[in-house]
Structure 1
Amino acid sequence: MSGLIDISAPKTAAADKASNKRGLWHRWVVPLVSVMESHEPPLDMAEIEAACAAIDESKSAKRRAAMLALLRDRLAAARTQQKSELTETKDGVIYVGLNAWMIDQLLEILRREAVRATGGKPSEDMAIVAVGGYGRGELAPHSDIDILFLVKNKVTDNLKSRIEYILYMLWDLGLKVGHATRNAADCIDAAKEDQTILTGLLEMRHVAGDANLSQQLSDMFGAYVDKTKPLQFVEEKLAERDLRHQRLGDTRYVVEPNIKDGKGGLRDLHTLLWTVKYAYRATSLIDIVDQGILRASEARRFAAAQRFLWTVRCHLHLYAGRPEERLDFEAQMVIAPLMGFADRGGLRAVERFMKRYYLAARDVGNLTRIFCAAMETDFRKRRKFFQNSFKVSRDIGEFQLQAGRISLSEDVLFRDAPLRILKLFQLAQEHDADIHPQTLHRITRAMPSIDAETRADPAANALFLDILTSSTNPERILRLMNESGVIGRFLPDFGRIVAMMQFDMYHSYTVDEHTIKALGILHRIETGGLTGVAPVASEAMPEIGSRRALFVAVLLHDIAKGRGGDHSILGAEVAQKVCPRLGLTPAETETVAWLVRHHLLMSKIAFRYDLNDPKTIEDFAAIVQSPEQLRLLLILTVADIRAVGPTIWNGWKAALMRDLFSRTDAVLKGADPTVIAQGNADMARALAFEKLVGQTETGQTETSKTETNTGATAAITWSAATFEQHADNFPSTYWTGFDVESHCKHAALCQQFQKLETPLLIDLSPDQGRRATEMTVITVDDPGLFSRIAGAVAAVGVNIASARITTCSDGTVLDVFYLQTIDNQVVDDAALLTRIRDFVTKAAVGKMRIADALSARWQQTPKRIRRFPVPPRVLLSNNISKTHSVIEVNGRDFPGFLHKITRCMVGLGLQIQSSSISTYGERVVDVFYVKDIFGLQILNERRQQHIRNALLAVLQASDENDADEIRGGDAA
């Protein structure tokens, strides 16, 4: 089986002619051969040999140092040339091939020098064999060099010295080397015990030394492989691949993918090559085509995907200066222009680059299915991974259901009736079955048959709508339809968002993957799977009358992203065209268009604006118009948010959504929002009275145990008089802003505050349900207090999710902050809570240099966050509230964002009543309800513009290029 190590170019004229017919793709998958045919050697062996001959041989230590300097210089020059060529050609194939060739030459030089240095006989039996990726003839800039020192029998002292000389020289040259020393028999024994070694030998290649030894090992290894069962190796490799995918999230559509080990990455292509080499004894991709496993067109896709991934990996290694495989946001921004991507068609360069990446990753998935189909057909023995025809087959029309998989009869063609493609997926969904890999392969080849006529066919649209709205979870089948290209072909508008990256730190998936996940979440809401985390949406689902419209709206809600405008407005226009084609009624079409148009509205209102302000509820209800649309919008919003990423939804957001839903529902059913607000305030006050005073009068003592800045606990007994005195100290908005448990807790804290010698009380209460820690601060009112507290919290490294300021009539304030860790979790670490308390205490009394602390935090902020372009924006409106001016500030998040903004507002003479903070990855949106120093809205247009300009100046000064600005301001 010597062909396993043969990656050389075809030797015969006929073979050369056949290779030329195959085109450039052949060169892309054999990089070492490609560069050997088209380039000069990376190292000038004759020049190096002459330079070596001129080195003094009298003192070995000096000679070694001189050799090291010589080789280091020549390697640096070769690498510079390789990097320059990569920049010019944008072709990673050339780089990995030249790099492997360069190491081949280096090893030959070192082998010769080792012979000279150790005084051994040149004929002494040893070969240097490349294995693994280096054996394939591909070597990324910082990849390990895996080599086997192959000896004939045992390692003599002279051979040991020779090997050590080579290794120490390689290490001193800064190379990472994976090495082993064995004879041929030991190699076979090791391969039997360790599949990693077996896989490495599968790609062995003779580099230097005794070629006969390499051939002997190749023959022995081939004989061993011939005796094994191919499918056992294949199963183990595919199982290994699946575990790797699970470890990295099991999706190829993450926004910061691992280009080597992630799903759809280079390792998946390597796995395919290993399995085909082992199962078919193939020596190259050409063999795979010649054996009929792949068509030439599919081989070109394989080659193109591999070439693209090689190029990305080379750029990533060079950018990171190490063997980095994670393509993070910062690397994406750097590499996109290097690979020739520019802004175009409403997409930024980096988004176009990443879309190309995801399409390559999808091609890798399709090729995996093709390989599996071939092996399924060719190896019929039943194994764990490959189910076969020994189980009874059941006919379903033209299809067969066998061993849990659907297939189309061999004598029936998809292209003759493209409707069969959609029918196949419907049956797979109905029977909870997989689709046979061979059948998926046939779908890929029949994709052009899904044309305009098919898209206009009412039967085809009815089938697609049935799949989408089935009572069986559509997520699995829709993802399979998407990865095979069917959805994008059937719905061209959806095809435009396939593999589209959302370049921010908020979204975790591509647009199409996010959409499919949202549909899966919608199904879970409908079936009661999310009752615990989304109870209101789960209760509303059975009450809706427009179920089909809801599922279609989820499918289309992001359909117009990347078109250079408001995707909600543009998406509604797309819905008006697509829905009738799918068979929806005019009423359903209008519902879908309305939902797509407003799919961001509910979360915007809930997370940014004061839900205790009657006008907020009144305006929202005026847009929603009906309880049915309110229910639909709630469910769509929950599905949308939960599909953004695994940590986005939390109890805090759920509580806000429930609050907005219940208040708006009451208004839509005829209640007056002002009356609701006042009634809620009176009811909340009465409930607090009942809980505190009522229990005391019946002989029950209400005990509120709280952890404060003194660490003490207090048991408070209330009378009607003390409660009324306490309650009159708060405005009516306070009573609607918190629940009764909070009112009781605050009452106890206020009583305790009155007994403190120092007028400052800090209470920290982790709330696991909301995934936030509630921090209550009671102290004497001070215009800069809110800003200083915000700065202290930021300096600790904690985020403020929301804040509410209550100014009492006695001159004190009760400020409540909801704190989260940087990954949106509750702050419950004891040491961190203590640190928060210390920082806030110092800040509240003006004994902390907040600017210095924030400067230190800024230095720790990842560069990738600083590099995200987030245009600053400030909006001021008097239409959202009847009593307050509402200021919305948008910008790139940075340590102390809230501190700097609120400090500016204090300087402008604004009183902040409440604040909500919404963070979307690198972007933050803060909304403030403010009044002027007279307690009125800001109505003067010149003053409004002055406020906007001042706040914009703060945001612009916070650019990373203005490092000193992070330290700007006074010591407080």
Structure 2
Amino acid sequence: MTSVEVINEAEDSGPSGYAAARLRLLNEKERSGPPRRAALARLTDEWLAALFAAAVQEQEVRGAALVAVGGYGRGELSPRSDLDLLLLHDGSASPAAVAAIADRIWYPVWDLGLALDHSVRTPAEARKTAGEDLKVQLGLLDARPVAGDLGLVASLRTAVLADWRNQAPRRLPELDELCRERAARQGELQYLLEPDLKEARGGLRDVTALRAVAASWLADAPREGLAEARRTLLDVRDALHLTTGRATDRLALQEQDQVAAALGLLDADALLRQVYEAARTVSYATDVTWREVGRVLRSRAARPRLRAMLGGRAAQPERTPLAEGVVELDGEVVLARTARPERDPVLPLRAAAAAAQSGLPISRHAVRRLGEAMNARPLPVPWPAEAREELVTLLGAGEPTVAVWEALEAEGLITRLVPDWERVRCRPQRNAVHTWTVDRHLVETAVKASELTRHVGRPDLLLVAALLHDIGKGWPGDHSVAGETIARDVATRIGFDRADVGVVATLVRHHLLLVDTATRRDLDDPATVASVASVVGSASTLELLHALTEADALATGPAAWSSWRGSLVADLVRRVAALLAGDVPDEPDQAAPSAEQERLAIEALRTGEPVLTLHTQHETPAEDGRPEPVGVELLIALPDQPGVLPAVAGVLALHRLTVRAADLRSIELPSEVGDGAVLVLNWRVAAEYGSLPQAVRLRADLVRALDGSLDIPGRLAEREAAYPRRRGVKAPPPRVTVAPTGSRLATVIEVRAQDAPGLLHRIGRALEGATVRVRSAHVSTLGANAVDTLYVTDADGSPLPDGEARQLAEVMEEALR
């Protein structure tokens, strides 16, 4: 059925005919995107025009018009878009007649279940309201006649545009502030896992704002790619509306695969990457446009005063040199008049470094000219030393690096400098721990690393490794392994010598080594420290890896780094540094129990019941001189008996305490104190929220858990039933493996599972049936994923044979399912 046939069907059959024709149009597989949105707008125009014509004929009213505003005014209707309508009249008809016309139009729309944003005004009232309400004025900028007195609508449009242009110096800053407030509430579209296609920064609202700026004649947005970006966002919204059947702009996780399929894309990642690309184009155009608006407004405000000072002569903007061929002009970094980019291949990096160092934006025109010159004469490979130094300067400039990098990336310079960047550009990270896309995370890591350059001997290697540490995420397989190969190529390309290339490659390959080891392995086990020392090889590489670990975690997001993680990594680095310096650590079994552990053990043996203490641990005082808490230490001593691990873990879970690490040891007390072994547990815990529970309550519940009067599984099941889960998202099954640690003290079992209340309790119960002893447990949680590592031995305290270890892992995995 053609568009004309669909419209005729709507005209012939009234509201029900319009509904049928609308449904038929939305189900046409061969028509989508702009053609479908335009056809839907035309279909709606014809239906509303018929309603309007019948209404004005019945009331015998002249001087009235039905006007589409906002998105409908632009002729773009998504399947579930609101209808934004204005009933415009010249005031000659009676209020009752105008109200009757409105009712004849509004009620049929409501009867079909369509969302309607409506108003009834004279031209004077419309202009007055627009002058008071910026959103109304923005909607009227797109006013389009649907039916009625065309002259009345044309007159209103002319007046509204004139008002907008006359009031632009006052209203544009108001619009800018409105956009900033919205961005602060909704976030940046190009980084959100569940973005709002309309309200988030870089979304459809910002495209509308750019149209309004252009209508003011004060400034204009960069046009390249903007129309395509807008089309992409609208197409995705159309597919979202049709997939969900709802008027929603939020691209929820559980709907992304269906939306991707509707658009003919491979998967949800391909969809998000396309959305991010579009949002990045809009965001960059927004930055450039508002910067130009600010420049023009400042220039206009200063012009009369400068003319008076110069005796009526026009003032010439001052150029301030920043670097060879680079100057500052009116708050932007531009190329000097004498610059010759086609003869100076280092100029792009020199200009970018100068911009970041001065904290100024780099002119879009300058970047474009540099890109054209780079096409004509790229940097030689390997890069000259000056180019490498300018790159390091750019990366070490701190926060200003981000805006400069984004400007270079928007014009395609980054992928010309580092071709492998294209694979990580706008690549989403489906992990709630990560705040940014892969490429932005790499830049943010360099920014965080710039704050740590005073702590390392080779800041240049740290900054380049920070930029490249996740570059392998654009390839299949282990991103660290792929990243090592890419890092070697890039480091060689930019001119590092063979030794430095090796260091950068090592840092990229093992950038997760320290944090993974510190949070998941027993640091008292000499094999743990020796394995890290064998990888890093030297104190200088260890120093760089320590700084990269912290920068990477800080750039990931708030959940990826804490004082506790930092203290564990620092402890590991201290032990590895000592080993590299020739100090051999003592075997942990040789260490005697602490005085407090022995005191608690004696009391537990005397009373026959659990004894515990709870106190806060602190690290070295921070810069303000106050010690910073790194966790809470819980010491428990009780007569050795079965079921201790699940009982203690379950009680802690019931009291909403998160377990970070647990060390278990059996102490044989001297015969003069008493006979029998005492189990001493040293736990590091943190409250999920609120204050810590009282030690008396913990002890009472632990006694009940051990004697069986406290139903821990039942209580935890109640909590887990109320645990929030994202609708439609199924967690992957747990996985239990034997880690190839090389420890001579124990077998290392690694459990990866969805984090949930009482996970360690369930692990302890799974171990109950096996004749093994748990030496220590180390718990690491990132977002919704938990990695729990257990050091286990047989009853005699020896590591398990390989076959038994694999069988234990299989039994535990089955039990955790």
Q: Shared fold (TM-score greater than 0.5)? A: yes
Partner secondary structure for residue 908 of structure 1: coil
Match of 2:774 in 1: 912
Match of 2:466 among 529, 551, 554: 554
Give the 3 Å change call, closer, same or farther, for CA 83–106 of structure 1 in structure 2: same
How big is the shift at 1:649?
Answer: 1.0
- 1:158-214, CA deviations, whole angstroms, 9 ceiling, x for partnerless residues? 322442454344334333322222211011111122211111111111223443432
How big is the shift at 1:641?
Answer: 0.9
Q: Within 5 Å, which residues of 2 pair with 1:927-942?
A: 927-939=789-801, 941-942=802-803
Q: Within 5 Å, which residues of 2 pair with 1:648-727?
A: 648-674=560-586, 677=588, 681=591, 685=594, 688=595, 726=599
Question: Aligned partners of 1:658, 1:479: CA distance in 2, in Å?
Answer: 34
Give the 3 Å change call, closer, same or farther, for CA 161–256 of structure 1 in structure 2: same
How big is the shift at 1:454?
Answer: 7.6
Q: Is the 8 A contact 2:792 2:799 kept in 1?
A: yes
Match of 1:149 among 87, 92, 106: 87
Q: Is the 8 A contact 2:321 2:328 kept in 1?
A: yes
> Amino acid of the residue matched to residue 11 of structure 2?
A
Q: Is the 8 A contact 1:794 1:854 kept in 2?
A: no
Q: Within 5 Å, which residues of 2 pair with 1:590-605?
A: 590-605=502-517
Question: Aligned partners of 1:586, 1:135: CA distance in 2, in Å?
Answer: 62
How big is the shift at 1:280?
Answer: 6.9
Q: Is the 8 A contact 1:788 1:850 kept in 2?
A: no
How big is the shift at 1:265?
Answer: 1.8
Q: Within 5 Å, which residues of 2 pair with 1:787-866?
A: 787-791=646-650, 799-807=658-666, 809=668, 810=676, 813-815=679-681, 817-819=683-685, 827-829=689-691, 843=705, 845-848=708-711, 850-851=713-714, 853-854=716-717, 857-858=720-721, 860-863=723-726, 866=729
**Correspondence 1:355 to 2:284:** no
Q: Is the 8 A contact 1:819 1:827 kept in 2?
A: no
Question: Aligned partners of 1:381, 1:632: CA distance in 2, in Å?
Answer: 47
Match of 1:783 among 642, 655, 662: 642
> Amino acid of the residue matched to residue 790 of structure 2?
F
Question: Aligned partners of 1:934, 1:433: CA distance in 2, in Å?
Answer: 67
How big is the shift at 1:519?
Answer: 0.9
Partner secondary structure for residue 147 of structure 1: strand
- 1:911-969, CA deviations, whole angstroms, 9 ceiling, x for partnerless residues? 22221222233332211111234433211x432332232233345x3xxxxxxxxxxxx
Match of 1:611 among 518, 523, 529: 523
Q: Is the 8 A contact 1:791 1:854 kept in 2?
A: no
Match of 1:463 among 368, 373, 390: 390
Give the 3 Å change call, closer, same or farther, for CA 766–188 of structure 1 in structure 2: farther
How big is the shift at 1:500?
Answer: 1.5
Match of 1:274 among 207, 212, 217: 212
The number of aligned residues is 790
Match of 1:257 in 2: 195
Match of 1:133 among 46, 65, 71: 71
Match of 1:900 among 748, 751, 762: 762
Match of 2:735 in 1: 873
- Tell me which moved more, 656-665 or 473-482: 473-482
Give the 3 Å change call, closer, same or farther, for CA 197–659 of structure 1 in structure 2: same
Match of 2:256 in 1: 332
How big is the shift at 1:39?
Answer: 6.7
Give the 3 Å change call, closer, same or farther, for CA 467–726 of structure 1 in structure 2: same
Q: Is the 8 A contact 1:373 1:436 kept in 2?
A: no
Question: Aligned partners of 2:705, 2:79: CA distance in 1, in Å?
Answer: 50
RMSD (Å) for aligned C-alpha atoms: 4.0
How big is the shift at 1:906?
Answer: 1.6
Give the 3 Å change call, closer, same or farther, for CA 837–318 of structure 1 in structure 2: farther
Question: Aligned partners of 2:222, 2:436: CA distance in 1, in Å?
Answer: 31
Match of 2:139 among 200, 203, 209: 200
Match of 1:382 among 289, 300, 303: 300
Give the 3 Å change call, closer, same or farther, for CA 910–467 of structure 1 in structure 2: same
Q: Point out where structure 1 has 5 or more consecutive residues left out of the alignment.
A: 1-34, 50-66, 282-287, 343-348, 528-540, 690-722, 730-749, 958-972
Partner secondary structure for residue 632 of structure 1: helix
Match of 1:628 in 2: 540
**Correspondence 1:921 to 2:783:** yes
> Amino acid of the residue matched to residue 665 of structure 1?
A
- 1:105-140, CA deviations, whole angstroms, 9 ceiling, x for partnerless residues? 443454456569xxx414354322222222222233
> Amino acid of the residue matched to residue 481 of structure 1?
L
How big is the shift at 1:513?
Answer: 0.6
**Correspondence 1:886 to 2:748:** yes
Identity %: 28
- Tell me which moved more, 499-508 or 801-810: 801-810
Give the 3 Å change call, closer, same or farther, for CA 471–380 of structure 1 in structure 2: closer
Q: Is the 8 A contact 1:773 1:827 kept in 2?
A: no
Match of 1:48 in 2: 13
Give the 3 Å change call, closer, same or farther, for CA 323–780 of structure 1 in structure 2: farther
**Correspondence 1:436 to 2:363:** yes
How big is the shift at 1:319?
Answer: 4.1
Give the 3 Å change call, closer, same or farther, for CA 109–877 of structure 1 in structure 2: same
How big is the shift at 1:484?
Answer: 3.7
> Amino acid of the residue matched to residue 736 of structure 2?
V
Partner secondary structure for residue 279 of structure 1: coil
> Amino acid of the residue matched to residue 250 of structure 2?
R
Question: Aligned partners of 1:835, 1:354: CA distance in 2, in Å?
Answer: 48
Partner secondary structure for residue 136 of structure 2: helix
Question: Aligned partners of 1:834, 1:862: CA distance in 2, in Å?
Answer: 33
> Amino acid of the residue matched to residue 567 of structure 1?
H
Match of 2:443 in 1: 516
Match of 2:310 in 1: none
**Correspondence 1:365 to 2:283:** yes
Q: Point out where structure 2 has 5 or more consecutive residues left out of the alignment.
A: 307-313, 619-626, 669-675
Match of 1:639 in 2: 551
How big is the shift at 1:254?
Answer: 3.8
How big is the shift at 1:656?
Answer: 0.8
- 1:718-753, CA deviations, whole angstroms, 9 ceiling, x for partnerless residues? xxxxx8x62776xxxxxxxxxxxxxxxxxxxx68x9
> Amino acid of the residue matched to residue 908 of structure 1?
A
Q: Within 5 Å, which residues of 2 pair with 1:59-70?
A: 70=16
Give the 3 Å change call, closer, same or farther, for CA 674–338 of structure 1 in structure 2: farther
Match of 2:432 in 1: 505
How big is the shift at 1:276?
Answer: 0.7
Question: Aligned partners of 1:264, 1:151: CA distance in 2, in Å?
Answer: 37
Match of 1:393 among 306, 316, 319: 319
Q: Is the 8 A contact 1:462 1:583 kept in 2?
A: no
Q: Is the 8 A contact 1:400 1:409 kept in 2?
A: yes
How big is the shift at 1:883?
Answer: 1.9
Give the 3 Å change call, closer, same or farther, for CA 759–426 of structure 1 in structure 2: closer
Question: Aligned partners of 1:196, 1:833: CA distance in 2, in Å?
Answer: 58
> Amino acid of the residue matched to residue 786 of structure 1?
L
Q: Is the 8 A contact 2:663 2:777 kept in 1?
A: yes
Question: Aligned partners of 1:263, 1:465: CA distance in 2, in Å?
Answer: 30
Partner secondary structure for residue 464 of structure 1: helix
Q: Is the 8 A contact 2:601 2:679 kept in 1?
A: no
Match of 1:588 in 2: 500
Q: Is the 8 A contact 2:650 2:758 kept in 1?
A: yes
Q: Give the alignment's TM-score, normalised by structure 2.
A: 0.85
Match of 1:526 in 2: 453
Match of 2:808 in 1: 947
Question: Aligned partners of 1:491, 1:209: CA distance in 2, in Å?
Answer: 59
Partner secondary structure for residue 12 of structure 2: helix
Question: Aligned partners of 2:8, 2:615: CA distance in 1, in Å?
Answer: 66
Question: Aligned partners of 2:66, 2:137: CA distance in 1, in Å?
Answer: 17
Question: Aligned partners of 2:722, 2:163: CA distance in 1, in Å?
Answer: 57
Match of 1:167 in 2: 106
**Correspondence 1:100 to 2:41:** yes
Match of 2:163 among 220, 224, 246: 224
Partner secondary structure for residue 602 of structure 1: helix
Give the 3 Å change call, closer, same or farther, for CA 472–275 of structure 1 in structure 2: closer
> Amino acid of the residue matched to residue 353 of structure 1?
L
Q: Give the alignment's TM-score, normalised by structure 1.
A: 0.72
Match of 2:180 among 219, 224, 242: 242
Question: Aligned partners of 2:302, 2:444: CA distance in 1, in Å?
Answer: 29
Q: Is the 8 A contact 1:389 1:402 kept in 2?
A: no
> Amino acid of the residue matched to residue 167 of structure 1?
W
